Amino acid sequence: MSRTYATLRDEVLTGMGELTGRHPAVLREIVGRRRPQRSSPASSSPPSAGVRELIVLGVAIAVRCDGCVDCHVQAALDAGATPAEIAETVDVAIRLGDGSAVVCGVEALEALARLARRSA
């Protein structure tokens, strides 16, 4: 039986919990990098949490980070991104990531559909 993104997400989150227990500084550093940053000195404010999650989702799809996709679809929804924005992110990531991103993009849209059904 093949793993689903939901199963993989659960495995990754469990592993992250174990990693945090053994090496807390590693995860603190990664989480610290995800805090809002000004994109340039001229910026008046950092991008919203939703925009940041859409960017992270697009990168995850383009580099085929299977363990990241489900988590960032959920995080994007939680941060206020719409299904249409997530679908557009998938489209852009596929254009950047070529063939392998198509597979990952399809899986991201499946995660979106599953999460939408679960919250309905």
CATH number at residue 16: 1.20.1290.10
| 36 band by pLDDT with thresholds 50, 70 and 90 | low
Q: What percent of the chain is predicted at pLDDT more than 90?
A: 22
24, part of any domain? yes
38, part of any domain? no
42, part of any domain? no
41, part of any domain? no
pTM: 0.62
For 49-118, the DSSP string reads: HHHHHHHHHHHHHHTT-HHHHHHHHHHHHHTT--HHHHHHHHHHHHHHHHHHHHHHHHHHHHHHHHHHHH
- The per-residue pLDDT for range 65-102, each reduced to its tens digit, is 877 888 899 999 999 999 999 999 998 888 877 766 77
37, part of any domain? no
Among 7-11, 22-26, 57-61, the minimum mean pLDDT is found in: 22-26
Q: Write out the residue range of the structural domain in which residue 24 sits.
A: 5-32+48-119
